[in-house]
């Protein structure tokens, strides 16, 4: 049986986006049409995955302004995330994609910028039957987990950051 999957990568550990990047690369390698919308990472940032996506011709939208907990203007941060949701809805409803990743999307719901039940209802009504959808981010809402076909929780056991080691080029960004 084939089915369009709703996949959630959540948890406090590292690797949620990285796992989604693996699916993106796998889908792209199979000739599938892929799109990524990032909700938190800065629109002006150029992490390694964005540079790779540009070289591969993978459609990529970063709508955030960086780390939300450092935001000096939460209204702007919220507006950027809501703009990302409008882009996502357009891309999802278009029927033009086989895989869409909503990276860091759980934060829009856990921060109450979007209502989880409204998001899930919109997806039920508008997600094409051939579209696999991946949602990443910490603290995935219980209703999202319930609706998902595949949920992976990344558990942080040990991280170099705990020892004061900064993010590493090519590893974290």
For residue 159, give the DSSP letter: -
Q: What is the CA radius of gyration of the chain?
A: 16
Name the E strands within the chain: 6-10, 34-42, 59-64, 99-103, 132-136, 150-153
pLDDT value at residue 146: 98
Helix (H, G, I), strand (E, B) or coil at 120: helix
State pLDDT tens for residues 61-116. Answer: 999 887 666 667 778 888 989 999 999 999 999 999 999 999 999 999 999 999 99
pLDDT greater at residue 144 or residue 173: 144
User: Class of the 6-139+147-152 domain?
Assistant: alpha beta
The two structure tokens encoding residue 21: 């990047």
- Does residue 7 or residue 173 have the better pLDDT? 7
Q: Name the burial class of residue 111, with classes exposed (0-12), middle (13-18) and buried (19+) by CB atoms within 10 angstroms of its CB.
A: middle
Give the phi and the psi of residue 17 in degrees, each rounded to 5. -70, -40
Question: Average pLDDT, stretch 40-61?
Answer: 86
d(CA 14, CA 142): 20
Q: What is the pLDDT of residue 136?
A: 98
pLDDT at 122: 98
CA separation for the pair 21, 15 (Å, rounded): 10
Tokens of 34: 């892929």
Average pLDDT over residues 116-136: 97
Average of per-residue pLDDT across 135-160: 96
Count of positions (residues) in the chain: 173
């Amino acid at each position: 049986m084939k089915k369009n999957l709703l996949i959630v990568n959540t948890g406090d550990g590292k690797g949620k986006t990285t796992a989604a990047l693996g699916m993106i690369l796998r889908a792209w390698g199979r000739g599938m049409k892929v799109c990524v919308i990032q909700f938190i990472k800065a629109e002006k940032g150029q992490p390694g995955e964005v540079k790779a996506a540009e070289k591969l011709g993978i459609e990529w939208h970063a709508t955030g302004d960086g780390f939300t907990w450092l935001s000096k203007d939460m209204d702007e941060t919220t507006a950027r995330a809501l703009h990302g949701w409008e882009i996502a809805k357009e891309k999802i409803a278009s029927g033009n994609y086989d895989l869409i990743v909503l990276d860091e999307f759980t934060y829009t719901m856990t921060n109450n910028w979007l209502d989880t039940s409204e998001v899930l209802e919109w997806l039920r009504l508008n997600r094409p039957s051939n579209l696999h959808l991946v949602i990443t981010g910490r603290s995935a809402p219980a209703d999202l987990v319930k609706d998902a076909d595949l949920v992976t929780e990344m558990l942080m056991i040990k991280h170099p950051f705990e020892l004061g080691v900064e993010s590493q080029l090519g590893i974290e960004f």
